[in-house]
Amino acid sequence: MPAPELRICLDDDDLDAALRLDAKRGLTSHPRHLPMRLHYDGRGSAMFGELTKQPEYYQTRSERAILHDRAAEIAGALGAGPVSVIELGAGRAEKIRPVLGALDATGRLDAFWPFDVAESEVRDVLLDLASAYPNAYLGGIVGDFTRHLAQLPDHHGTRMVAFLGGTFGNFTGMERSQFLRDLREALRPGEWFLVGADLVKDPEVILAAYNDAAGVTAEFNRNVLYVLNHRLDADFQPDHFEHIALWDADTATVDMRLRAMKPMTVDVAALALELGFSVGEEIHTGISVKFHRGELENLLQATGFEPVGCWSDERDYMGVFLARAV
């Protein structure tokens, strides 16, 4: 069996340049802000894995239940021919495996491509899947799915792009629309998009997931400061920042922030920045938008997709939407 193909669209220098740009722009803005993706270094990814195990964090369990219970239906909705699956932000590719299994069981899994920024993660998951799907073509893309969708592999079978885990909700409104337009441009008519989304529900349930009793979310949020300390030679004291998660009912959005609990001066040596923080000053560290079903389906239609199916868990907490490019 040939070694899996690997497409490298960015390297460590690209990631370092993006980090520097994001940090300088965000920390010198008013209000200060940092992108959600900066949380996910090795330490942050491990923390997020721990977060998904907390009793308050319903998202991962709910989506996994949907994909486990409805994988055969989702696979069946894709038609009878071979399917090549590309998973954006794949990580360990754990989320998509029930669907891969359903396609493989019917002899229709033509290929699988994990797409992630971490080259080591992509290589590891390809090695892990080689024995599980010996008849499928395996390849990987190391890239940023907000910049490199034009690099999607072109197979003879129908392609399905999967974007799971609720990450779609971390985009702003403009970013969501741009992402969907870029994805539609990268797909042929009749090809597929599978997206997991957190649905609007009782705000107490939502906020509990971002304020778990064990404090894992708080440590995950503060991890962005550890990243800046490690990568940019900053001297943030993360424990002097309070984790804040606010619910905005008008926009159905959780807004995550870090709030200074004491006056401090922070040096970011790699950027030659000295930052002063007053008590109560905040850094905005990410958003998580929740969706009404019809709202997301309308957005898909407006950007060149036809909604075909939506599956939810028994409590209607999460939704998995399937749409066809038109």
SS3 220: helix
The predicted pLDDT at position 42 comes to 77
Q: What is the largest CA-CA distance in the chain?
A: 63
Q: What is the pLDDT of residues 10-65, one digit of tens each?
A: 888 998 999 999 999 999 999 999 998 888 877 888 888 899 999 999 999 999 99
Report the percentage of the chain scoring pLDDT > 90. Answer: 89
The predicted pLDDT at position 2 comes to 66
What's the start-to-end Cα distance of the chain, in Å? 36
CB burial of 177-216 (b: ≥16 within 10 Å; e: otherwise) equals: eebbebbbebbeeebbbbbbbbbbeeeeebebbbebeeeb
> HSE on the CB side for 292, CA within 13 Å?
7
- Region 288-316: mean pLDDT is 97
- Region 217-233: mean pLDDT is 95
Residue 87 contacts residue 259 (beta carbons within 8 Å)? no
CA distances from 17 to 1, 216, 285 (A): 37, 29, 19
Residue 108 contacts residue 83 (beta carbons within 8 Å)? yes
- Residue 120 parent element (H or E): helix 119-130
CA-based Rg of the chain, rounded to a whole angstrom?
Answer: 20
Domain annotation for the chain: domains and CATH numbers: 1-226+292-326 (3.40.50.150)
- Region 82-99: mean pLDDT is 95
The predicted pLDDT at position 98 comes to 98
SS3 101: helix
The predicted pLDDT at position 46 comes to 87
Indicate the average pLDDT of the chain. Answer: 95
pTM of this structure:
0.95
E runs forming strands in the chain: 5-8, 32-33, 83-88, 109-116, 137-142, 158-163, 192-198, 241-248, 253-260, 264-268, 273-277, 282-289, 305-312, 318-325
Rounded to whole angstroms, how far apart are CA atoms 199 and 289?
A: 9
Q: What is the pLDDT of residues 164-189, one digit of tens each?
A: 999 999 999 999 999 999 999 999 99
- Residue 224 parent element (H or E): helix 216-232
Dihedral sign for Cα atoms in the order 270, 275, 280, 283: negative
